[in-house]
Structures are given as structure tokens and as C-alpha cells.
Structure 1
Amino acid sequence: MRELPLPTLPIQDLGVRDLRAQRRSLRRADVAEAGARLVVAWARDEAEVREAQQLRYQVFAEEMGARLSPPAGTPPGLDVDVFDPYCEHLLVRVLDGDEGNRPVIGTYRVMTPAAARRVGGLYSETEFDLTRLRPLRATMVELGRSCVHADHRQGGVILALWGALAEFMQRNGLETMVGCASVSMRDGGHVAASLWEQLRQTHLAPIEWQVRPRLALPVDDLRRDLQVEPPPLIKGYLRCGAKLLGAPAWDPDFNTADLPLLMRVADLPERYRRHFLAAA
């Protein structure tokens, strides 16, 4: 796998209307988290993308034990893949008054429709056959590599990220979000299989949107009768109207079961629409 240079594409080629202005502006989240104010902004250069990749490495490799396969020449301590140069990277920092010490504590990676065409597909397509989503692709973004620092997982960071994502979607006429939500398989996969069994009864998407995993979690060989609580991120997606697109895929490198989810802006419940879109 060859290394791709970090963003060298002109901003106007990214397929959104006013990303340059969005990158210049910082959105101060109206939430207090761990006693601090938060600032949300899009990464403006390679150095800021590196900060996101460093946080991802801390969470995925050091905390979760993922086996990462970065491109040749990647500096140590970074989670990097071939999709990164084509994506927009949303960052949350703690606003503590010190301009030189505002660490990234949360991040999302966003791939626009134009970027997906340029790179040849979505990351999700390495795990699922997304053929049935083809009618949605013109206004569909992919969300991925979401993570929050272990010291800041009380909810404020995710709310700040979601507010900025909603603003980005509305401002650029984007209607659908798709991505994979991961469930740990440290228990062998029984929790993930049971969660799939529960959610398919209540949140399964219509057949015309359902997808197939390329490497399926062997749910028929696992327990599916456990009463499990969805992880907070998945629970948040479902509250916002997300639909489960099909059975989970198995990601052996990250040791997770990945559930394919789709969420449309039009399906946001009214209370979340007021919260996320009022100021967009």
C-alpha cells in the first residue's frame, strides 16, 4: 500500500460550497465539559490532521489494541490510512486560555461525495457491499474514525461534534450520513451478536437500503439472547433516527464487530432538529 500525501487538493475541489470559510471559523460549543469550554473546527493543514491521527492512535491502538497497518513511511504514533488525504477532519479542542496548549480531545473524519468519487469509494465499502445505497450517493457523506479522549467521554464532546456536523450538512445541501459503529469483540462477539438481534427488531432499514458484510460476523454461532445495552455512541445515533443497514461485519484488525448505520437529516426528531440545526 503506497503512501498518499496529506491534503494537496485545492479546497474548491472538495465538493462543498464554502469550506474555506468554514475552515477559517471556529465554532465554540455551548457546552461545558469537564469544567472547560470546547472549540470545534475543521483541520486546516497537515499538522492539524496529524493531531487527529495521534488521538486516533491513542484510542484505537493503545487503548483498544487495534492492529493498524499505516502506509509506508508513516511516523510512529499515528493512525493513518489511504482515505485520510481525501477527507475533512473535524476537531474538538479544550479552550483553556493557553493558545499553545489546546489538545485535540475528539475527532470525526468526513468524506464528501466528491471526495469519495475521487478516491474510488468509501471506507465502509471495504467492509460492506453498498450497492443498494447508490441512489443516495450524490448527497451522502461518510462518517468514520470517530473517537474521544478517555478523560472527556461525558457527552459534551460528542454533542459539540454533532452540532458542527449538522451545520456542515445543512450548509452544503447534504442529506444522508453513513458509517460503521463498532462493538468490541473482547467477549468473543456474543454481545455484538445479541445487539444485532435486538436492533434488527426495532431499527432495521427498509430492504432497499440494506447492505451485506464482506466478512460477516458469524452470528449464528454466537449467543444472541443476551440483554445488552447499546454503546453510548450507537444509542445516540438511534435516538437521532439512524437505521441499521444489516448484519455486522467482523474487523479482525480492530477486533470489533461493525454495524452499518445510516442517518438522514430529514429523519432527525424535532427536538434534535431544534438543537442541532437552529443555528446552522
Structure 2
Amino acid sequence: MPLLTKGRYRARLAETADDIAAAQALRTRAFRTEQPDRDSFDEICSHFLVHDTRSGALVCCFRMLMFEDGAQLARSYSAQFYELSGLQSFDGRMVEMGRFCIDPDVHDPDILRVAWGAMTRFVDDNDVAMLFGCSSFAGTETAQYLDAFAILKHRHLGPKRWLPRVKAPDVFRFAARLRRKPDARKAMVRMPPLLRTYLMMGGWVSDHAVVDRQMNTLHVFTGLEIGAIPPARKKLLRTVAG
């Protein structure tokens, strides 16, 4: 059963082992990992698939894991990399979104819109109060992303009471280290599209990035309180989700 269909794209939940295998294959290709991209979280998450209705090809996928409140966050994927005790007092249903990827050979902004529409429908249907996850920059070298990290420091750090603390052994403490004034244009060019969308909706990030050499990424913890999304942006998302 499709979650939604917009234009040439259809989003649905995975229903079979073959569906999940297809998502893992797309992730492996998109993330360019040497080994197949699969882990134990695949067994407990809901997997979302976006297909091109003309070709039938899988063009986007991501997974979501539900938590009744912040007290359960120790079993999240993000908790492997970030110390999340500050968020344990969050009172409301939370969903971790992860392994988001789009076919690297397909370039159509409508894919991201449909994916966010599917997320919006899931969030609304399940009365979710916060969406969170790890937002990744390609590669592990920080030099090309300094303006992006500087603008995250100046405009988008999370509330102090919820800010994740350092847990991973290899991190880039951009909030403490960067003194540069960001070039906003360069920052947005280098900002990953998924993270850029989070920020446009009022999302916030950790004060450090984790250097994940296994996935060949730098990632920041990202949180988005559903109640804090600007009304105009929320209306636009629900228009897509409708």
C-alpha cells in the first residue's frame, strides 16, 4: 500500500525481505561501502522506499525507529556515537531517521520532496514530537566544509539542555575550534541536502561532528522538534503528504 504518490514517484513501506534487501543494495551503492550496508537495526526499523513509477526503479530509501520518549534513546543508532543523556528527559514520542540515501545517478529534487512527504505522514499518523538522526557529510576531511560547520555553530546549535555530549573517539569540535565568520553562500553549497532541509524547518545540530571512517563520513546529530516547524513550512510539507 503506497504512503503517497506524487508525480512520477511513489513512497511506500517495505513489506518483504526482498524490499529490505533492495534498500540495502541501494545504500551500499550510494554510500560506496566496501561491504554490504546492513546492520542489526535493519531488523527493528520501518523501511521507507521511493520508486520511480515509470521505470519501477528504487530511487530513495530510509529507515525509521520509534521511541515512546527520551528514556529509550540508549537503544538508538545515534547513541553509539553521541552521549544523549540530555535528551532522556524529552517527554514525547520520538523517531530516529537514518540511512537516508538517493540513487547517486538520479538528480531530481522531487525525490527529496516525496521522501519528506512520506516522513510527514508517518510523523502525523504516529503523533511524533521529535525527529532525530545523524546527518552526514561525504568524506572525513573537514577542510572543504569549514563554512558549513561555521554556520552550524553560529545559527543552528541545539538547546543546551538537550545538546549531545562527546562519546565517539574521533570527533571534530567545530563549535569550540572554529573562529571564522561563515560565508553563507559557500556554506549552503557544501551543506548536505538532507541537513539543509532539516535546518530550513528549524532543526538543530550537535556542537561536534563524528568522524565515521567505516562509513567514510562526518556526521552531526540532528534534532527537529515537530512543534517548532514554522507554520508555512509545515503547511507545505502536509500539502505534499496529502
> In 2, distance between residues paired with 1:267 and 1:222?
29
Query: How far apart, in 2, do the equivalents of 1:185 and 1:195 lie?
Result: 14
Does 2:162 correspond to 1:209?
yes
Give the distance between the partners of 2:218 and 2:197, measured in 1 at CA: 18
Normalised to the residue count of structure 1, the TM-score between the two structures is 0.75
Q: Which structure would you say has the larger Rg?
A: 1
Aligned counterpart in structure 1 of residue 47 of structure 2, from 81, 89, 107: 89
The answer on whether the counterparts of 1:42 and 1:89 sit within 8 Å (CA) in structure 2 is yes
Counterpart of 1:79? 37
- Contact 1:189/1:222 (8 A) holds in 2: no
1:1-280 correspondence runs (5 A): 24-29=1-6, 31=7, 37-61=8-32, 66-68=33-35, 78-96=36-54, 102-113=56-67, 121-136=75-90, 138-185=92-139, 188-215=141-168, 216-219=170-173, 225=180, 227=183, 228-229=186-187, 230-278=191-239, 280=242
Q: Distance in 2 between matches of 1:152 and 1:50?
A: 20
Please, which runs of 5 or more residues in structure 1 have no aligned partner? 1-23, 32-36, 69-77
The aligned length equals 233
Distance of aligned partners of 1:194 and 1:275 in 2 relative to their CA distance in 1, 3 Å threshold: closer
Q: Percent identity?
A: 23
* Alignment partners' CA distance in 2, 1:117 and 1:95: 40
Counterpart amino acid of residue 123 in structure 2: M
Equivalent-residue separation in structure 2 for 1:79 and 1:224 (angstroms)? 37
Contact residue 194 and residue 224 of structure 1 kept, 8 A = no
Provide the rounded CA distance (Å) in 1 between the counterparts of 2:210 and 2:171. 5
State the alpha-carbon separation in 2 of the partners of residues 214 and 83 from structure 1.
20
Displacement of 1:245 in angstroms is 2.7
The CA distance in 1 between the partners of 2:92 and 2:166, in whole Å, is 22
Instruction: Give the deviation of 1:180 after TM superposition.
Output: 0.7
CA contact (8 A) 1:67 1:253 kept: no
Kindly indicate whether the alpha-carbon contact (under 8 Å) linking 1:245 and 1:261 is maintained by their aligned counterparts in 2: yes
Over the aligned positions, Cα root-mean-square deviation in angstroms equals 2.7
Query: Are the counterparts in 1 of residues 51 and 57 from structure 2 also a CA contact under 8 Å?
Result: yes
Deviation at 1:67, TM superposition (A): 4.7
Separation in structure 2 between the aligned mates of residue 253 and residue 137 of structure 1, nearest angstrom:
33
Any idea what the Cα deviations from partners look like across 1:235-267, whole Å, max 9, x if unmatched? 111101111132111111122111111012112
Q: Could you tell me which runs of 5 or more consecutive residues in structure 2 were left unpaired when the two chains were aligned.
A: none
